[in-house]
Amino acid sequence: SVYEMSGNECCLSTGEVIKVTGFKINKLIASICEKNEVSQFSAKMELPLNFPGLYKVVADKTPYVSIEEITRKVSIGPTRFGHPCFYSPEDIKLANFTVRRGEQITFNSVEVVNGAMAVNCVVVRNNQSHSFTLPLSQEGKFYECEDDQIYTLKEIAEWKIPKCRNRIVRLSNALHMWDFSNPLPENFDGCLILMPVYEVQAVMKHRKDIVHILSDLDVEVKDITDCYDTSSFLQPLSLEDVFERTSMEFPMVAEIMEGPSESQKPYNLLSAGKEIVIYKKYQAARILASETRSDSPKRHFLIPMSYKGKFKRRPREFPTAYDLEIARSEKEQLHVVATKAFASPHKELFSVSVGDQFLVQQCQTSEILYEGRKKVVDVLACEQILSDTYKKVLLPMYMEGSFVEVIHDKKQYYLSEICKEFRLPFNVKVSVRDLSIKEDVLAAVPGLQFEEEITDSYLLISSASNPVESWEIPVYRLNMLVHLLSKDVQRVVPPATKTTVEEISKEQYYMVRRYENQTLHPPPRPPKKP
């Protein structure tokens, strides 16, 4: 059979031995969904996995009848996507624990327990985690729990579509860049039923790359697994597979079978056939930063703590008095100027004019007259800066105005100093670029907002043939396949690590922000009426 692979024709000869290494969703057939059914007016649309937008998964109403069925059809793994949640409409009585009906059960991993396969599970009850195992033989009805996370189509295809089932998703954010090539209706914000189209991933005896075969290819095959030595085939590994190896197995030498599609440096050096040394795996901190510009699209970056450039402060903008209270610090007094007028409905509270300047003091309570009754409300105490004096004023916390920070600090800061001395978010501009980076992308950005500090998984690698420098590659944002070589690492100590500022897409930005520590969120803004 002759078929096309990556734009090239490929021939499968009679008698050719192929080792199937996995199944992967190649694309999705989507139909508009109404009341959990395909709309009678909906045409089927083919969506690539990189189709834009963020989506919420609609819980499947069809139950699973055993733990074994769940493990066979649902992806359970070590990554943050691989922890599906289910509930049982009946109590599940175990030897030392009873799972109550309706309780959310998180499936973490599958392993052998006392000689039998079982699933490691967790139930959170009264803010306490209870761990237990469920054998694959456990029967009953198990329903999917509602999932409030958002995902890209690629993530849904890889983790959230059970085998032999379709998946309903709801568009979570509007597609701003709609055009006539978009198969979805303009301003569409409803649900889609996704039907996966699979491809077979395989390796062949005399090829060093991965062969992708569409599942509808018309070719007859015979299973010879039991009578063939499969050790002679290459074993492709994803970066996640490498990261799961024990620390004792590093460093290791690998050959790239499929390089990443990213064109930015240094990822463009990771092409198929190149040999690399993988020194170690670890978690590393990054600062998530975005351009400070009103027009879209904004650019987003992940900046390592090793960045050697310097920054100058830039004014922050605050939409309400409540945001001023959040940004207030003990180290320095917050000085702002109003850029929008606000007329207070209460004589006890101050009305703001454009150009008014304030020094923010503290949050306190004040008594006001509201609908003929006295009421105590939260207010922000400030000092209004007049020409030759200061006037104490009270601003309502719900006040919707607009304030811009007045910067008096002319000092230049390293990234580590900003993280140590100031609270994020924090606005800056590069004043001295990082001279160790040939092209410092941050230097050309007119303004940046440091949004938060995140922790992510990385592998430290270098070229095997010319290990003059090493660099960190993100495990969960770089798609590439390698196979390990039985070569000794000539240099166990890695060369100097090159600083890499990673520019990420809008979808990747939302994925990173989605896993931030929820305790960093301020409480909801106060109501607009007392």
pLDDT at residue number 8: 46
Instruction: Report residue 37's pLDDT band, with 50, 70 and 90 as the boundaries.
Output: low
Task: Specify the long-range contacts of residues 392-396, CB closer than 8 Å, at least 24 apart.
Answer: 393/350, 393/358, 394/348, 394/349, 394/350, 394/366, 395/321, 395/324, 395/349, 395/350, 395/352, 395/358, 396/321, 396/344, 396/346, 396/349, 396/530
More confident residue, 144 or 171: 144
Instruction: Report residue 493's pLDDT band, with 50, 70 and 90 as the boundaries.
Output: confident
**Rounded distance between C-alpha atoms, residue 2 and residue 202, angstroms:** 16
More confident residue, 401 or 88: 88
More confident residue, 216 or 434: 434
pLDDT at residue number 2: 55
Residue 99 lies in a domain: yes
Tell me which residue has tokens 């923010």. 360
Four-residue CA torsion sign, 457, 463, 467, 469: negative
511 CB burial (10 A radius; 0-12, 13-18, 19+):
buried
**Rounded distance between C-alpha atoms, residue 243 and residue 458, angstroms:** 8
Does residue 524 have a cis bond before it (omega within 30 degrees)?
no
pLDDT at residue number 136: 93
Q: Are 327 and 380 contained in the same domain?
A: yes
Average pLDDT over residues 339-360: 88
Q: Are 239 and 363 contained in the same domain?
A: no
**Rounded distance between C-alpha atoms, residue 176 and residue 297, angstroms:** 10
More confident residue, 82 or 174: 82
In contact, 379 and 397? CB cutoff 8 Å:
yes
State yes or no: pLDDT of 122 exceeds 50.
yes
State yes or no: pLDDT of 463 exceeds 80.
yes
Quote the pTM value: 0.66
Instruction: Report residue 17's pLDDT band, with 50, 70 and 90 as the boundaries.
Output: confident
Buried (b) or exposed (e) across 36-63, using 16+ Cβ within 10 A? eebeeebeeeebebebbbbbbbbebeee
Q: Are 400 and 414 contained in the same domain?
A: no
**Rounded distance between C-alpha atoms, residue 385 and residue 387, angstroms:** 7
Most confident range, picked from 88-97, 202-211, 362-371, 489-498 = 88-97
Buried (b) or exposed (e) across 306-324, using 16+ Cβ within 10 A? ebebbbbbbbbebebbbbb
Average pLDDT over residues 387-408: 87
More confident residue, 29 or 295: 29
Residue 345 sits in a domain whose CATH number is 2.30.30.40
pLDDT at residue number 208: 67
Last residue of a domain, one of 405, 429, 452: 405
pLDDT tens, position by position, 286-318 = 999 999 877 767 899 999 999 999 999 999 988
Most confident range, picked from 77-86, 314-323, 406-415 = 406-415
Total structural domains within the chain: 3
State yes or no: pLDDT of 447 exceeds 80.
yes
**Rounded distance between C-alpha atoms, residue 196 and residue 218, angstroms:** 18
Most confident range, picked from 158-162, 169-173, 198-202, 352-356 = 352-356
Residue 309 lies in a domain: yes
Average pLDDT over residues 240-244: 87
Q: Are 296 and 364 contained in the same domain?
A: no
| Cα 54 off chain centre by | 11
Tell me which residue has tokens 């624990």. 97
Of 297, 252, 136, nearest in space to 485 by CA: 252
State yes or no: pLDDT of 460 exceeds 70.
yes
Q: DSSP readout, 20-72?
A: EEEEEEEEEEEEEEETTEE-TTPPPEEE-TT-S--EEEPPPSSPEEEHHHHHH
State yes or no: pLDDT of 108 exceeds 60.
yes
**Rounded distance between C-alpha atoms, residue 399 and residue 377, angstroms:** 12
**Element at 158 (helix H, strand E):** helix 153-159
Residue 304 lies in a domain: yes
Q: Are 504 and 422 contained in the same domain?
A: yes
State yes or no: pLDDT of 260 exceeds 70.
yes
Q: Are 425 and 504 contained in the same domain?
A: yes
State yes or no: pLDDT of 522 exceeds 60.
no
List phi, psi (to 5°) of 468.
-85, -20
Last residue of a domain, one of 126, 143, 160: 143
pLDDT at residue number 528: 52
Q: Are 306 and 414 contained in the same domain?
A: yes
In contact, 280 and 250? CB cutoff 8 Å:
yes
Tell me which residue has tokens 């009578």. 227
Q: Are 399 and 451 contained in the same domain?
A: no
Q: What percent of the chain has pLDDT over 70?
A: 88
Terminal CA-to-CA distance of the chain, rounded, Å? 75
Instruction: Report residue 210's pLDDT band, with 50, 70 and 90 as the boundaries.
Output: confident
Instruction: Report residue 458's pLDDT band, with 50, 70 and 90 as the boundaries.
Output: very high
Residue 472 lies in a domain: yes
Tell me which residue has tokens 């295809």. 157
Q: DSSP readout, 293-354?
A: -SSSPPPEEEEETT---EEEE---EEEEHHHHHHH--SSS--EEEE-S-B--SSTTSPPB-T
Of 457, 458, 456, 452, nearest in space to 419 by CA: 452
Q: Are 442 and 295 contained in the same domain?
A: yes
- pLDDT, mean over the chain: 84
Q: Are 502 and 462 contained in the same domain?
A: yes
Q: Among 14-28, 180-194, 283-297, 361-375, which is the least confidently predicted range?
A: 180-194
pLDDT at residue number 155: 85
In contact, 424 and 316? CB cutoff 8 Å:
no
pLDDT at residue number 81: 79
Average pLDDT over residues 102-114: 90
Residues of the domain holding 347: 317-405
